[in-house]
Structure 1
Amino acid sequence: MSEVHVVVPADIDDAAVPSGGNAYDRRICDGLAAIGWAVHELAVVGAWPRPDAAARGCLARALAAVPDGAVVLLDGLVACGVPDVLVPAARRLTLVVLVHLPLGDEAGPAPAAAAELAALERETLHGARAVVATSPWVARRLVARHGVPADRVHIVMPGVDPAPLAAGTDGATRLLCVGSVTPTKGQDLLVEALAAVGDTAGPRLRCDLVGPLHRDPAYAAAVRRAIERHGLGGRVRITGPFTTARLEAVYAAADLLVLPSRVEAYGMVVTEALARGIPVLAAGVGGVLETLGRDLHGRVPGIVVPPADVVALAAALRRWLGEPALREGLRHTARARRGTLDGWEMTSRCLAGVLARLPG
């Protein structure tokens, strides 16, 4: 039986702090086990983006308990900031680092701090036997920025679960934005764009900002203040994270998913929306264009705008709200794209192939 030890964040299953990275980690652990792998989960306390002494000690102890020569897959949010722990461990273990988003690319840190994180990640990745990237964009980024040999970087993209078609609300005015409330996800840009749209949206416009607030409380507070300053309290709601049932309900009611991210490695919420036939309005950053994809006729199931451009985002919202033919066409394309999405079993089998081919 094939065997792998997987180092994951200790909060991987905490419903109060959902994230795309945690969801990916859980699905690959469960998926590898379902296809016959022996999966040993090692949950360690993280201190993203650079673990503190306690977190480093937790990771070091976890790795020390793994038998010599074993294959160990490590979530990069746990491992990439601690080459002093990972590089020595690589002398006796076959280490594979999973990168969701390069550490220095997260929006928010000062340039010097981002450069320091990038340097730590570079050292870690060069010490690993292989690197798994969750999108083609991440793979290209790691090769270009860190000089990781391309033949050591393997792309294993997230899957998506089948879902019922979303009924929506009135076909236009229920907007949904899902993601941790952080500068990276750009909720402040969406609030400013909605303020610019103003009353032309009509009285029924509603937008839910769904996602954890703990990653950057100061930013979340600033987004709340912007909502109040623009008088959008009756239209825009910061909900915090939703459990599965509540999240399903807001997806079912959504007419449009909005993803205003400043940085996005893949954008799992894009495929989650498309799986329900919901069109997407997104900033064209990182891996979003590849994730959004095209239907079998080459049509894009959404609207793409330049990143961090409030004017363009507001203009796209006006088009969506004011052009029924556009909305109908995008819904048709999103439903067509729905049938081309890969499931999580494909992700697990792709990852299993990568791990099985590692040189001894």
Structure 2
Amino acid sequence: MRILMVTSFPVPGEYDGTAMLPIKILRALKTRGVDVVLAHLKARPPLGKMTRGEFEGTPSYTLPPRTWLSGLKRIAKEHPFDLVHAQHYGGATRAYFACQRYGWPLVYEIHSLLGDEFERQRLGRGLSFRFYVTVERRVCQHAAAVIALGEPVKKVVVEEKGVPADRVSVIYPGIDLGEYERESEPAVIPGVGPEHKVVMYVGSIVHPNQGVPILIESLPRIFEALPEARCVLVGGPASAGDEYRAQLGPHGAKLIVLTGQTPEQVVALTRRADVLVHPRLACRENYSVQSKIAVYLASGRPIVATDFGDYTTILGATGAGHLTPVAPDPLADGIIKVLTDPALASRLSAATRPVAEEYFGMERNIDRYIDVYKKALANGPR
């Protein structure tokens, strides 16, 4: 089996879930003997030449808009592939025209719902948004298979976009659990001593749907109940951290922000957490499960998260997380409860590994991807 993996962002790119997911899939596919070629379909500049590089021994092409069709056709000649695995709406909408023209089966992996993300800062949205919405709907109708990162997303794809349910699979964002099995010491964090209890969040600290402001609003209540508590935000930008510290006033020194951390550093940092927190909002964009929770589960640390979407089953029903309503006071109460109840913290920690292996371990998830590929090849484009 041979796969062309198409993205609208460079690989390796940034150390975020969107960029890291195709890398994890690529690495896992290679261990199964599946040939993969990467194609980054850039939006700008419109002109320019197709270039070839390499990522971890895998051919990697960069194509400007004028070569999206001809470039992909050229790649098909040099590296004959069986299907196109498009990552995110950007990769799918840019590869769609070539897939339609040349009859290539397309597997569309939806990282998040387009309507809640693209051009969110513009009132009424613009021409680009309307273009993407139109083409993405065609992608869904054309795709041989669709992969969703959450059950609510699958429901949207089936009920709103008209894709038959048997063509939509839910595969949560996988990670290499081996990274968390190797022995290493917890990270040393500036401003945090061995006597401190660490409340940690990993990820973007400004992305609206992540709910970090809810965590910030909850911190005074936590710091007053537990003066030894410290909050560590692993993510950026640093300027947002300065604003959050100013918001906390006299408690500002108890907030530490670490930017520019590699995945390896994140592993060590999570080992120092006494509780990992994800205060995500109850909104449509959070229908997708993010790789953040895979990192949390793999770390084996107690988790407190807001009760929404698939977290109800992944964390609540399994006992792998303590869930709270989406509001500062109940979030603070949940964090305080975990930090002051060793038995509860121990139960939460013990439940994380089986959930990580079942839903997020890439060793198991890659079987799910290969099953989707096989079905896509059998079904072909719609």
Q: TM-score, normalised by structure 1?
A: 0.81
1:236–1:110 Cα change, 3 Å: same
CA distance in structure 2 between the partners assigned to 1:229 and 1:342 by the alignment: 36
2:60 corresponds to: none
Aligned residues: 339
Query: Is residue 2:99 matched to residue 1:89?
Result: yes
Match of 2:37 among 7, 21, 40: 40
CA distance in structure 1 between the partners assigned to 2:116 and 2:351 by the alignment: 31
Partner secondary structure for residue 91 of structure 1: helix
The farther-off stretch of 21-30 and 284-293 is 284-293
CA distance in structure 1 between the partners assigned to 2:334 and 2:255 by the alignment: 18
Cα distance, 1:258 vs. partner?
Answer: 0.3
Q: Is the 8 A contact 2:200 2:275 kept in 1?
A: yes
1:282 corresponds to: 305
RMSD of the TM alignment (CA)?
A: 3.2
Unmatched segments (≥5 aa) in structure 2: 48-63, 187-192
Partner secondary structure for residue 5 of structure 1: strand
Cα distance, 1:279 vs. partner?
Answer: 1.5
CA distance in structure 1 between the partners assigned to 2:70 and 2:221 by the alignment: 53
1:235–1:270 Cα change, 3 Å: same
Cα distance, 1:5 vs. partner?
Answer: 0.8
Cα distance, 1:170 vs. partner?
Answer: 6.9
Match of 2:16 among 16, 19, 24: 19
Q: Is the 8 A contact 1:87 1:127 kept in 2?
A: no
1:156–1:207 Cα change, 3 Å: same
Match of 1:349 among 356, 367, 371: 367
Q: Percent identity, aligned pairs only?
A: 23
Aligned residue identity for 2:105: T
Match of 1:175 among 199, 215, 225: 199
The farther-off stretch of 151-160 and 21-30 is 151-160
Match of 1:65 among 74, 78, 88: 74
Q: Is the 8 A contact 1:46 1:77 kept in 2?
A: no
Aligned residue identity for 1:135: G
Match of 2:258 among 226, 232, 239: 239
CA distance in structure 1 between the partners assigned to 2:185 and 2:12 by the alignment: 29
**Residues 91-144 of structure 1, C-alpha deviation per residue, up to 9 Å, x if partnerless?**
312222111111123495457339845554323322322212233332223223
1:136–1:58 Cα change, 3 Å: farther
1:172–1:221 Cα change, 3 Å: closer
2:61 corresponds to: none
Aligned residue identity for 2:202: V
Query: Is residue 2:295 matched to residue 1:249?
Result: no
1:216 corresponds to: none
**Residues 26-82 of structure 1, C-alpha deviation per residue, up to 9 Å, x if partnerless?**
1111222221222111123368xxxx8566446445434343884111112423455
Query: Is residue 2:209 matched to residue 1:184?
Result: yes
Partner secondary structure for residue 138 of structure 2: helix
CA distance in structure 1 between the partners assigned to 2:295 and 2:157 by the alignment: 26
CA distance in structure 2 between the partners assigned to 1:27 and 1:241 by the alignment: 20
Query: Is residue 2:80 matched to residue 1:76?
Result: no
Q: Is the 8 A contact 1:270 1:292 kept in 2?
A: no
1:279–1:110 Cα change, 3 Å: farther
- Note the 1:1-360 alignment, pairs <5 A: 2-14=1-13, 17-45=14-42, 56-57=65-66, 59-67=68-76, 70-80=82-92, 82=94, 86-87=96-97, 89-92=99-102, 93-106=104-117, 108-109=120-121, 112-113=124-125, 116=130, 118-160=133-175, 161-162=177-178, 163-164=180-181, 173-181=197-205, 182-202=207-227, 204-213=228-237, 221-222=239-240, 224-231=242-249, 232-262=251-281, 263-264=285-286, 265-292=288-315, 294-295=317-318, 300-307=319-326, 309-334=327-352, 337=355, 343-358=361-376, 359-360=379-380
CA distance in structure 1 between the partners assigned to 2:101 and 2:195 by the alignment: 57
Per residue, is there more helix in 1 or in 2?
Answer: 2
Q: Is the 8 A contact 2:87 2:110 kept in 1?
A: yes
Aligned residue identity for 1:99: I
Q: Is the 8 A contact 2:218 2:331 kept in 1?
A: yes
Aligned residue identity for 2:272: A
Partner secondary structure for residue 207 of structure 1: strand
Q: Is the 8 A contact 1:42 1:62 kept in 2?
A: no
CA distance in structure 1 between the partners assigned to 2:330 and 2:337 by the alignment: 11
The farther-off stretch of 331-340 and 36-45 is 331-340
Q: Is the 8 A contact 1:196 1:314 kept in 2?
A: yes
CA distance in structure 2 between the partners assigned to 1:338 and 1:37 by the alignment: 24
Cα distance, 1:347 vs. partner?
Answer: 1.6
CA distance in structure 1 between the partners assigned to 2:138 and 2:195 by the alignment: 49
Aligned residue identity for 1:321: L
Q: Is the 8 A contact 1:284 1:304 kept in 2?
A: yes
Q: Is the 8 A contact 1:187 1:223 kept in 2?
A: no
1:324–1:192 Cα change, 3 Å: same
CA distance in structure 1 between the partners assigned to 2:91 and 2:358 by the alignment: 34
Partner secondary structure for residue 331 of structure 2: helix
1:217 corresponds to: none
Partner secondary structure for residue 217 of structure 2: helix
The farther-off stretch of 184-193 and 103-112 is 103-112
